[in-house]
Amino acid sequence: MTFDFKMDQPQPRLLDSTRQGLIGTDMARPEGLLKVTGAAAYAADHLPEGCVHGMLVRATVTRGRVTAIDEGSIGDIPGLLGVFHGPKFIRNPAQGMAGESPIRPDTEVHFHGQPIALVVAETFEAAREGALRLAVTYESAPAEVDPETASEVESDEPDTRGDWDDAWGKAAARVDLTFRTAGHVSAAMEPHAAVAEWQGENLLLRGALQMVATNRLELADALGVEPERVRVVSPFVGGGFGSKLGIGPEAVAASVAARDLGRPVRVVMARQTVFDAVLRRTETRQRLRLAADADGKLLALAHDDRISNLPGEGFAEPVSSASRFTYDALAMHFAQEVARNHRTPSGSVRAPGEAVGMITLEVAMDMLAQLLDIDPLDLRLKNVATSHPMTGQAFGEQRLADCLTEGARRFGWADRPAPGTRSEGDWLIGAGMAAAARPNALQESSARVRLTPWGAVVETDMTDIGTGTYAILTQIAGEMLGLPAERVEVRLADSDFPRSPGSGGSFGASSSGSAVFMAAKGIREKLARTLGCDPDDLALQDGIARGGNVERSLADLIDGELGETATVGPGKTAETHASAGFGAHFAEVAVHRWTGEIRVRRMLGLFDIGRVLNERTARGQALGGMIWGMGGALHEALEHDPRTGHIANRDLANYHVAAHADVPGDITADFLPVRDDHANPMQSKGVGELGISGSGAAILNAVHDACGARLLSIPATPDKVI
Ligand code: MOS
């Protein structure tokens, strides 16, 4: 039986009365041992019988057409099996949101490094040699690669509220700044990989993917086969951060070659190919305007930006997303320009929008506080939005003010010395703060739960990209059904399982978890009927069911198995209520007086994410986000060759992500004890992308506090400080 749950139905806080004691704890990942011992098989770990190897060939021109591929140029390589190219292979990576399919089967080259062919051989080494040596001839076309000078710029109607001129005109203080952010890459530890195996007319694709249901449709579409013929499995994924939302060229190429050769084909991207051929986060240029009265009440807030993408690509980094609802102002203005150019296509990279937008808003707030001589904490507290300023929706739960106040107390914000007065030897010390905000969404999601006398099995096509899905779904099912964790088996990421939205947009845990919750709730109701008690009076703990005066073991109650499939969806609540995660960041930095080097000494983040499902994995997500925010503020930058647009720093030696030596030992992330009744049946909100939102601003504001340098572009490398 399937029943639909919509958020407009009344919500019992069932998880507050269950007794298993699993939910919210810091339970370790059940699959953790498999991962750390190397027993967990990631996509590329599969080598089916007869499997051969493919290597992608990348375009060496920015724009144009492939006119000839000379297969004879590599004919001498032993074990060479084929070169696959032509319309089927010249494709852009897909963004991966159902409905929009930028997989374009054409013969054109759109960016330098675009995959244009696949060389397949008996060994990896032979395929690699072939891919490096293959002679390709191009007809080049002129290309624009600089977003600042792009001749094709698209702009939408601005999104506005109130009378801008009036609000701006009567202000006592105004900030009008331009902020620039460099492009980013997801830099997942596991490179993109696919193993394609045809069984007759049916394809089994083992991939490194975030959304297997969508990926299956994309792959079927790219191959021109019915989706029913395609099965995608992705049980272990070594990080995604947006880069594995959509099907990539490795999966399409492996599938086509495997069909043609009648043998399984494995394609693993080299790290340099991941940089070239997988979506980047766009660089941005942002104009942020704030105007306030003498008391610090915001009168006007504008956040306009310019981003870039390939012509025709649908994705546009939602830079000002959180600026629309974090603070309230009488007049607001949001406009975006998309410069069309021929850099690697841009797409979702962790916290699309907030990662680069929130840092700008929060630096501007710091500047406004300075102008008005108001404590940055107080300025924010005066302006926290109480309903969504642009839509008028009520917030389900909005605890930004509590995060700011309590975070400040824990950090010791009130006790900090005056700006520019602290030093230790050649190091100038300063403190900064910022707010965090990111929209939260419940996406339609289904799960099947089966209860047997021995335990429960959970099945959904949801992925675990290192985020902790196996753990939290184990906890939810165990909590609801009164089972210890070791008696719950969670099976994920098989497109044959009930459909989930997958991992993305910080919606995965709450959406797939809600489906598991509702399926388990259905099983509880069946058990209550069998036991003859009201479902509200049913207590399940450690395999024992109690209700009224009756007490029986699950083994006794269940004949065979009790199964339930549930689907949850957002319903009307998503229209009437705005849902978002909130938080506050505090940072202490040291800036070297002579070299301009910035060392982060302390970071503290406090977040409102509704109910915490697993303290350990939630904290891991929040810390990871905070650290990425730091890396973005200080280190990360895609460098494009000004002649070709080609990404010049295509490896993790030249593209520096924060390493252990960059991260302060004193870094904490914590959560307010909150329930959001309007978010979903578990009262939880997303956490994955909230931590990055604003964290870099706390650091830049601390740099200003330390040495007076107001940095308006990231990464804030030492040359910008001195
Ligand atoms: Mo995320 S950037 O939606 O994986």
**Of 81-85, 200-204, 328-332, 474-478, minimum mean pLDDT range:** 81-85
pLDDT at 13: 85
Is residue 352 in contact with ligand 1, taking CB distance under 6 Å? yes
Assign 248 a pLDDT band (cuts: 50, 70, 90).
confident
Question: At residue 194, does pLDDT exceed 60?
Answer: yes
For ligand 1, pick from 350, 510, 511 the residue to mutate: most ligand atoms within 8 Å of CB.
Answer: 350
pLDDT band at 28 (very low <50, low <70, confident <90, very high): very high
Task: Say if residue 90's pLDDT is above 80.
Answer: no
CA distance 53 to 130: 11
Residue among 457, 422, 462, 464 nearest 445 (CA):
462
Q: Which two tokens stand for residue 561?
A: 């198995």
Tens of pLDDT, residue by residue over 534-584, are: 998 999 999 999 998 899 999 899 989 999 999 999 888 888 899 999 999
* Confidence (pLDDT) at 572: 86
**What pLDDT was estimated at residue 93?**
43
Band (pLDDT 50/70/90 cuts) for residue 221 is: confident
Predicted-complex ipTM score: 0.97
214 touches ligand 1 (CB under 6 Å): no
User: What is the pLDDT at residue 98?
Assistant: 33
Domain 43-143+187-280 matching CATH 1.10.8.80: the answer reads: no
Ligand 1 atom nearest 465 alpha carbon: 4
Rounded to the nearest angstrom, the distance between the alpha carbon of 261 and the centre of ligand 1 is 34
The yes-or-no verdict on residue 100 having pLDDT over 60 is no
For residue 7, what pLDDT is reported? 64
Q: Which of 12-16, 66-70, 258-262, 463-467 has the lowest mean pLDDT?
A: 12-16
CATH number belonging to domain 361-441+576-721: 3.30.365.10
Q: 10: pLDDT confidence band, cut at 50, 70 and 90? A: low
Mean pLDDT of the chain, nearest integer: 94
Question: 405-426: per-residue pLDDT in tens?
Answer: 999 999 999 999 999 999 999 9
Q: Is 191 helix (H, G, I), strand (E, B) or coil?
A: coil
Global confidence as pTM: 0.96
With tokens 């720093």, the residue in question is 649
pLDDT at 574: 85
- Model confidence band, residue 4 (pLDDT cutoffs 50, 70, 90): low
> Which H/E stretch holds residue 223?
helix 212-223
Beta strands in 572-688 (DSSP E): 577-578, 580-592, 598-608, 666-671
CATH of range 2-32+445-569; options 3.30.365.10, 2.40.110.10, 3.40.50.1980, 3.90.76.10? 3.30.365.10
- Does residue 628 register a pLDDT over 70? yes
Q: What is the number of H-type helices and E-type strands within the chain?
A: 16, 34
**pLDDT at residue 46, as a whole number:** 96
Provide the pLDDT confidence category of residue 88 given band limits of 50, 70 and 90.
low
| Ligand 1, atom nearest to 243 Cα | 4
pLDDT tens digits for range 510-521: 999 999 999 999
Pocket test for ligand 1, best of 95, 241, 507 (most atoms within 8 A of CB): 241
Ligand 1 atom 4: the closest Cα is on which residue? 242
Centre of ligand 1 from the C-alpha of residue 691, in Å: 13
Indicate the pLDDT class of residue 312, thresholds 50, 70 and 90: confident
User: How confident is the model over 686-715, as pLDDT tens digits?
Assistant: 999 999 999 999 999 999 999 999 999 999
3-state secondary structure of 541: strand
> Which is the closest atom of ligand 1 to the Cα of 244?
4
Q: What pLDDT digit, counting tens, does each position of 428-458 carry?
A: 999 999 999 999 999 999 999 999 999 999 9
Residues 6+ apart with CB under 8 A from 487: 454, 455, 456, 478, 543
- Clarify whether 689 is annotated catalytic: yes
pLDDT (0 to 100) of residue 224:
86
pLDDT for residue 101: 35
Give yes or no for residue 102 having a pLDDT over 50.
Answer: no
Query: Does ligand 1 come within 6 angstroms of the Cβ of 241?
Result: yes
Give the mean pLDDT of 287-299: 98
Q: Is 505 in the pocket of ligand 1 (CB under 6 A)?
A: yes
Q: Is the pLDDT of residue 320 over 90?
A: yes
Ligand 1 atom showing the smallest separation from residue 210 Cα: 4
Which part of the chain has CATH 3.30.365.10?
2-32+445-569, 43-143+187-280, 361-441+576-721
